[in-house]
Amino acid sequence: MSDAPDRHTAPAKPGPVFFSSVALCAVFVLWAVLSTESLNAVTGTVLDWVTGNFGWVYLVSALGILGFLAWLAASRCGRIRLGADDDRPEFRTISWLAMILAAVMGSGLITYGVTEPITHFAEPPHDLAEPGSKHAAVVALQHSFFDWGLHAWGIFAVFGIALGYSMHRKGRKGLISPMLRPLLGSAVDGPVGKAVDVLAIFATLFGTTTSLGLGAMQISGGLSHVLGLPGGVGTEIAIIAVVTVLFTISAITGLHKGIRFLSESSTALAALLFGFVLLVGPGGFVLNLLVESLGLYIGDFVPMSLRTGIFGQLDWMQSWTYFMLAWWISWGAFVGVFLARISRGRTIREFVLAVLGVPSAVFFLWFATMGGSAIFQDAFQGGQVAEAAQADAAGSIFAMLSAYPLSTLTSLIATVLVLMFFVSGADANTYVLSMLSSDGHPRPSATVLAVWGGLTGLTSVVLLLAGGLEALQQAVIISAAPFVVLMIGLAYSLWREVREDPLVRTGPRTREDVELV
């Protein structure tokens, strides 16, 4: 994700944010190592308290962010550029859209593209359908769209716009704290601002470790399926160790051309796998299911966005809706930095429409094709994909692919895809963590990069040992809880600033601006 650093700029020296955030993360790791049972007991209690009493905050804030973005795009604020008034986009629109799509095209899509729809098909959420029924298939995709569509990209978009406006139009550092100046005033320059940046780092770390843990599980499952190698936590830890070394070396040495190649190649490979499944699978069924599920998703959008599961569905919400929303919030700073850096010169209106629309549409197609094919197998061909997903979430895609020709090859492609997403995404996250802890400096020191690379891998390992997927989900929900408050403050600060922007107060300045209204 990161650009090659400026060779004429000296690397940033570690500061108080770096030492505070590293110390906080080290305490967590030591706690997990020395007293796993205590960690699990405390996190379980905190998780139940947070989601039971304040889970609705995740839902209301995410829906509110979407409403705020709609206002931004539709109002006069939509013509404000992320940069000076005479700035124009650095990248061609097609390249820009491809990079937006690549921002979160990661191992989670491989894992959840099949696992989530087939799990909801076998056990419909909120008792909305009979298990295994036709309506269950529609409800399964509807809720998959909810978890991976507009709500996720709305969260990323508000971070991206706020960071882009702050960095490119206001000339501020690429940190979270300066964006809160309209809300906190001069306090952002002192301990309060430092605490905000530490919190952003902490949330980003757990979003990253969750992705690493899922990636390790998926690669382990792929190696077991394709090569017959033993799986389990030991293999997953070994995978994390090897990949951690790879992405840390990449981040330190600045091998960004290689990472860019990995990103572009993985997107192309994902498109190839998607096209293959759509071609050899039940294409007609998939497309019909897509259309019907989209209809239910759109028609039930607001009620679904505010469904808390208060009557006996808290465990389900923790495993799915709350976890997904918290995961996206914890990724907000990372994805926001990426989106801001590639979007200089774009108008807010362009940004909102592109970031909300394009990735959501592609993800809907992905889940309909992968998940819909699995549902078709279980519903009409005696498949056992749901059983495979229940036994091991990472194994569901291999169970689905095994019903089609060239299953060994396609399973190998899926495994390679996860590995490519794994390395390129972790490299980018390491860079962002290092930048956030180096006062927003675009060239963090090698020491800082190495520390965050090692801590990311180590935290993933201790969470796997502490309880696998459940521990990863608990950590990301809890770490994102205070960060959701910052996200709301961020949206409020952005609203304050764009209303006072000279372009909004004085009207369009150029012919092109008039045409954009």
The Cα–Cα gap between 369 and 114 comes to: 9
What is the pLDDT, as a whole number, of residue 263? 67
- State yes or no: pLDDT of 366 exceeds 90: yes
d(C-alpha 218, C-alpha 414), whole Å: 9
The predicted-structure confidence for 223-272, as pLDDT tens digits, reads as follows 877 777 777 778 888 888 888 887 787 777 765 565 667 667 777 888 89
Residue appearing with tokens 């790879």:
246
Distance CA 258, CA 251 (A): 11
- CA nearest to 224, candidates 458, 399, 437: 399
Highest mean pLDDT among 204-208, 301-305, 468-472: 301-305
pLDDT tens sequence across 157-175 = 999 999 999 989 988 888 8
* Matching residue, tokens 């509807």: 142
* pLDDT greater than 50 at residue 517: no
Instruction: Check residue 5 and report its DSSP letter.
Output: P
pLDDT number for residue 6:
45
18 pLDDT higher than 70: yes
pLDDT at 109 over 60: yes
> Is the confidence at residue 445, as pLDDT, over 90?
no
* 8 Å CB contact between 55 and 315: no
Specify whether the CB–CB gap between 293 and 41 falls below 8 A. Answer: no
- 3-class DSSP assignment, residue 12: strand
- Comparing 353 with 247, which gets the higher pLDDT? 353
Q: In the prediction, which pLDDT does 468 show?
A: 65
Cα–Cα distance between 337 and 341 in angstroms, integer? 6
Q: Give the pLDDT band (50/70/90) at residue 25.
A: confident
Mean pLDDT computed over 38-63 = 88
Task: Express each pLDDT in 58-105 by its tens digit.
Answer: 999 999 999 999 999 999 999 999 998 888 888 888 878 877 876 666
| pLDDT higher than threshold 70 for residue 515 | no
pLDDT of residue 11: 64
Average of per-residue pLDDT across 306-333: 86
Instruction: Tell me the domains of the chain and their CATH numbers.
Output: 16-512 (1.20.1740)
Collapsing DSSP to helix, strand or coil, 17 comes out as helix
Q: Average pLDDT for residues 24-50, to the nearest whole number?
A: 84
Check residue 64 and give its pLDDT: 96
Instruction: Please report, to the nearest 10 degrees, the dihedral formed by the alpha carbons of residues 448, 449, 452, 455 taken in order.
Output: -100
How much is the pLDDT for 226?
Answer: 75
505 pLDDT higher than 50: yes
> Lowest-confidence range among 300-314, 335-349, 406-420, 473-487?
473-487
Specify the pLDDT at position 514: 45
Round to whole Å and give the CA distance between 400 and 377.
Answer: 8
Please say if the pLDDT value at position 348 is more than 90.
yes
- pLDDT at residue 12 in the model: 64
Q: In the structure encoding, which two tokens stand for residue 113, read together?
A: 């593209």
**pLDDT tier at 1 (50, 70, 90 boundaries)?**
very low
E strands within 1-139? none
List pLDDT tens digits, range 142-152: 999 999 999 99
